[in-house]
Structure 1
Amino acid sequence: MIRVEFTIEPFIEGRPGPHVLAAIAAVESHGLTVEFGPFASEFRADDPTVFSAVSSLISEAYGNGATHVNIHLEKVAS
């Protein structure tokens, strides 16, 4: 199991921007649940799924106006 923590810029005060919403939707399209946070969001997935979900996250974030995507992956116990 891998835990993925991510932030997407630019930040928009008071609400997530379209670049953030698109990235979250992309991850959720893989059947995953995103825990949305004020500073970072995260999800967990098995190895095969996590890599395609991260790829989708990056594509959708930049495709919808992101200027910076920060991603941290950490192997965790299932």
Structure 2
Amino acid sequence: MRLVAEFTTEPFHGEGEPPEHAVAALRAVEAAGLETEFGPLGTTVSGDADEVVQALADVLRSSLSHGATRVTLQVEPADG
């Protein structure tokens, strides 16, 4: 099964460079080799279910350890 996940990390910052917690989360999914779209209000990833779930655990650890105060997550089957 393939999954699509979208997550946001907070606190949000205004214009300029993304906050450290958002960059750490992005690095976690990139390291997993997942298809990734990084945007100003969230990041979308897709791939094999096991790979996505493992990467999301890494996203939580890395973003929270780099200053995130909240991570919001949505996950759904890629074909649904």
Question: Same fold, TM exceeding 0.5?
Answer: yes
Q: 2:8, 2:72 within 8 Å by CA — same for their partners in 1?
A: yes
Give CA deviations for 1:40-72 in whole Å, capped at 9, x if unaligned. 210101111011100000000001000000000
Q: TM-score, normalised by structure 2?
A: 0.90
Counterpart secondary structure, 1:35: strand
Q: Residue by residue, what CA displacement relative to the aligned partner does 1:11-62 show, whole Å, maximum 9, x if unpaired?
A: 1111310000001001111111320122221010111101110000000000
When the two structures are superposed, what TM-score results if normalisation uses the length of structure 1? Answer: 0.92
Q: Tell me the distance in 2 between the aligned counterparts of 1:39 and 1:65.
A: 16
The residue identity in structure 2 corresponding to 1:7 is T
Q: Is there any run of 5+ residues in structure 1 with no aligned partner, and where?
A: none
Identity %: 35
CA RMSD of aligned residues (A): 1.0
Residues 34 and 46 of structure 2 are in contact (CA less than 8 Å); yes or no, is this contact kept in structure 1? yes
Q: Which runs of 5+ in 2 are unaligned?
A: none
Number of aligned residue pairs: give it.
77
Consecutive aligned runs of 4 or more in structure 1 exceeding 6 Å deviation: none
